[in-house]
C-alpha cells in the first residue's frame, strides 16, 4: 500500500449505487436516491438507492425463495465452503480498493480500515467456511430402547442491520456464520455507509453465491429496517446499533412473527488502571488509542478511564501527552492516526458533550473542532480529567473521541464505578496482581474483559454484551447459535 495507490483510488469517480437483490443490481422501484456525503471534505461522493417498502419486501421474498427451494441450504457443506472461500479470495484481492471506498464514505483512517474492514471480512468468511463441516448433531445418552437424535438446521431467512463505523467487519460477523449455516440473508447498511457492503454483495455473486442468497437493500431505517423487523418471512434479526433502535426492532418482532432478535447496542466501557499496573506509560498509551482511534467510533471503546487516586494526576498527564501525539486528519493520508467523524450531526453531538462538561466546571483537555477549512468533520481528542459519576458524559455513550477520567481509592470502589452503567459490553483492568485481575474479571459486568491490554481479541472468542449492551454473540463458533435451530428426532427401536 502506497500513498500514490491510495490517491489514485481516491480520484476515481463513483457511479450511483444500486441495490443487490436476487442476483441483480437494481434501482429503487420509484427511482429514489440518497446522497452519499464524504466526512473527509463534506462533499457528495455519489448516491445510493433509497428503498421503498416494496423494495425491501422484494428482497425478503427473494431470500425466502432461495431458502425454501434449497439452492443454498441444500448444498453439501463442502460446496458452501468452496463458494465462501472464493468470496474471501476476491475480497482480499481487491482489499485496498474496497478500503479506500469505505474511507471515502465513513472517514476511518486508512491504516485501520484496510485491516479492520476488507481483510477482516475475508478472514471472517474463511473462519466460518472452514467450520461448516465441523458442526455435527448429537446422539442423546438415553434409554437403549430409544434413539434420541439432535439435528442442527439453518433457521431460514436472516435480516441484518449494521452500523456505519465498521460495516464490513461487523457485517461479516453476521453474514459469514449465517450463510455458512445455510441461511439466506437480507442486509440493510447504515444510511451513511452503504458502498462497501454493496461491493461485497457483488463479489459474492462473482464467487458463486446463488441469486437471492445474499441481498443488500439500502435506505432509511424507518423503511427498510422496519420492513425487515415487521416481516413475517424473516426468521432471525441481527442488529448492531443504538439502544433506541434496538427497542423498536424488538417491539416490531413482537408485533409480527416473534422472530428472534439479537442485539449489540454499544457500551460505556470502563478501563481500570491500578497503581501497580505493569507499565503506566504503556497503559496510558493503550488507553489513548482505545478511545481515540477511528475518532472514538468503536463499540468497545474504553470511554471511561478509572484510575487509582495515587496516580491520577500523573496518569492524566501521560494520557494527554499520548492523545496530543495522535495525528488527526485526512483519513486517506498514510500518516494519519485518527480520521474524520462520520457525519456533521455526530460531530455536533460529540462537541455538545464536551461543552456540557466544561459548563459544569470539569477540567477538559482538547475537544475542539479542527481542520474546518477542509469542509470535513474533524475533532481533536477530548479528555474530561475529573469526571464524576453523575455527569452525563460519564453515563451516556458519546461514540466519539471523548474520554472521562475518574479517580478511585479501593478495589471495591473501582468495581462499583465500573458497574455504574446500564451497559455491559467491554472493560479492561491494568494490574500486576494476578489475584486482583481474576477478581476484577469476575466482578465486572461485561461480555469482554481485557487484562493489561485493550482491544485486539480475534475470531476465536465471542463478543457480546450484558444489560443494555444487548444479547447473543458475534465471533467464535458461538455465533452459529443464532442461525441454527435444534430439532429432536425420538425413535423407538
* Rounded (to 5) percent helix, strand, coil in the chain: 45, 20, 35
Beta bridge partners of 492: 146
Average pLDDT taken over every residue of the chain: 97
449 CA to centre of own chain = 17
Question: pTM of whole model > 0.85?
Answer: yes
The number of beta carbons lying within 10 Å of the beta carbon of residue 490 is 10
What percentage of the chain has pLDDT greater than the value 90? 99
- List domains and CATH numbers for the chain: 3-265+470-490 (3.40.605.10), 270-458 (3.40.309.10)
pLDDT in tens, 210-238: 999 999 999 999 999 999 999 999 999 99
* Residues 44 and 37: beta-carbon distance below 8 Å: yes
- What pLDDT was estimated at residue 137? 93
Give me 120's grid cell.
477482516
Specify the pLDDT at position 1: 87
Confidence label for 101 from pLDDT (cuts 50, 70 and 90): very high
Average pLDDT over residues 361-365: 97
Question: Residue 248 class from Cβ within 10 Å (0-12 exposed, 13-18 middle, 19+ buried)?
Answer: middle
Q: What are the catalytic residues? A: 264
For position 484, what pLDDT does the model report?
97
**114-125: pLDDT as tens digits:** 999 999 999 999
Q: Record the cell numbers describing residue 457, joined without a space.
A: 481479541
Q: Distances from the Cα of 3 to the Cαs of 9, 40, 118, 334, in angstroms?
A: 10, 16, 18, 7
CA distance 42 to 23: 33
pLDDT in tens, 387-396: 999 999 999 9
Give residues with Cβ within 8 angstroms of 493, minimum separation 6: 144, 145, 146, 147
Cell of 475: 465471533
Q: Tell me the C-alpha distance between 474 and 264, whole Å.
A: 9
Amino acid at each position: 500500500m502506497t500513498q500514490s495507490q491510495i490517491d489514485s483510488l481516491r480520484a476515481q469517480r463513483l457511479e450511483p449505487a444500486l441495490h443487490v437483490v436476487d442476483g441483480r443490481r437494481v434501482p429503487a422501484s420509484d427511482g429514489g436516491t440518497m446522497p452519499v456525503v464524504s466526512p473527509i471534505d463534506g462533499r457528495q461522493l455519489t448516491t445510493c438507492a433509497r428503498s421503498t417498502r416494496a423494495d425491501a419486501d422484494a428482497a425478503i421474498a427473494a431470500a425466502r425463495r432461495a431458502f425454501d427451494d434449497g439452492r443454498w441450504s441444500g448444498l453439501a457443506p463442502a460446496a458452501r465452503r468452496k463458494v465462501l472461500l472464493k468470496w474471501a479470495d476476491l475480497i482480499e484481492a481487491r482489499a485496498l480498493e474496497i478500503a479506500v471506498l469505505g474511507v471515502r464514505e465513513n472517514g476511518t483512517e486508512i491504516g485501520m480500515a484496510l485491516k479492520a474492514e476488507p481483510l477482516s471480512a475475508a478472514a471472517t468468511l474463511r473462519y466460518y467456511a472452514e467450520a461448516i463441516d465441523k458442526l455435527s448433531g448429537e446422539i442423546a445418552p438415553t434409554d437403549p430402547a430409544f434413539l434420541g437424535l439432535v439435528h442442527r438446521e439453518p433457521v431460514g431467512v436472516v435480516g441484518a442491520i449494521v452500523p456505519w463505523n465498521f460495516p464490513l467487519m461487523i457485517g461479516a460477523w453476521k453474514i459469514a456464520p449465517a450463510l455458512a449455516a445455510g441461511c439466506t440473508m437480507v442486509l440493510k447498511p447504515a444510511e451513511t455507509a452503504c458502498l462497501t457492503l454493496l461491493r461485497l454483495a457483488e463479489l459474492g455473486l462473482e464467487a458463486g453465491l446463488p441469486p437471492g442468497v445474499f441481498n443488500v437493500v439500502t435506505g432509511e431505517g424507518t423503511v427498510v429496517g422496519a420492513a425487515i423487523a415487521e416481516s413475517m418471512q424473516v426468521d432471525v434479526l441481527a442488529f448492531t446499533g443504538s439502544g433506541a433502535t434496538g427497542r423498536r426492532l424488538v417491539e416490531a418482532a413482537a408485533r409480527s412473527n416473534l422472530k428472534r432478535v439479537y442485539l449489540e447496542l454499544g457500551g460505556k466501557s470502563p478501563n481500570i488502571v491500578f497503581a501497580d499496573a505493569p507499565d503506566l506509560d504503556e497503559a496510558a498509551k493503550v488507553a489513548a488509542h482505545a478511545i481515540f482511534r477511528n475518532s472514538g467510533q468503536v463499540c468497545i471503546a474504553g470511554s471511561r478511564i478509572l484510575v487509582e487516586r495515587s496516580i491520577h494526576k500523573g496518569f492524566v498527564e501521560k494520557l494527554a501527552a499520548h492523545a496530543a501525539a495522535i495525528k488527526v486528519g485526512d483519513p486517506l493520508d498514510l500518516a494519519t492516526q485518527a480520521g474524520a467523524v462520520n457525519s456533521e450531526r455526530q460531530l455536533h453531538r460529540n462537541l455538545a458533550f464536551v461543552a456540557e462538561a466544561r459548563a459544569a466546571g470539569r477540567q477538559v483537555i482538547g475537544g475542539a473542532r479542527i481542520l474546518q477549512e477542509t469542509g470535513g468533520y474533524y475533532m481533536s481528542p477530548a479528555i474530561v480529567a475529573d469526571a464524576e459519576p453523575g455527569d452525563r458524559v460519564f453515563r451516556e455513550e458519546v461514540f466519539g473521541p471523548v474520554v472521562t477520567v475518574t479517580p478511585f481509592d479501593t478495589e471495591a470502589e473501582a468495581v462499583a464505578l465500573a458497574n455504574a452503567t446500564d451497559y455491559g459490553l467491554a472493560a479492561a483492568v491494568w494490574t500486576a496482581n494476578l489475584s486482583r485481575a481474576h477478581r476484577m474479571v469476575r466482578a465486572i459486568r461485561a461480555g469482554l474483559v481485557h487484562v493489561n491490554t485493550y482491544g485486539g481479541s480475534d475470531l476465536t472468542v465471542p463478543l457480546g454484551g450484558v444489560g443494555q449492551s444487548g444479547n447473543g454473540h458475534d465471533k467464535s463458533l458461538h455465533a452459529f447459535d443464532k442461525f441454527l435451530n435444534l430439532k429432536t428426532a425420538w425413535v423407538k427401536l
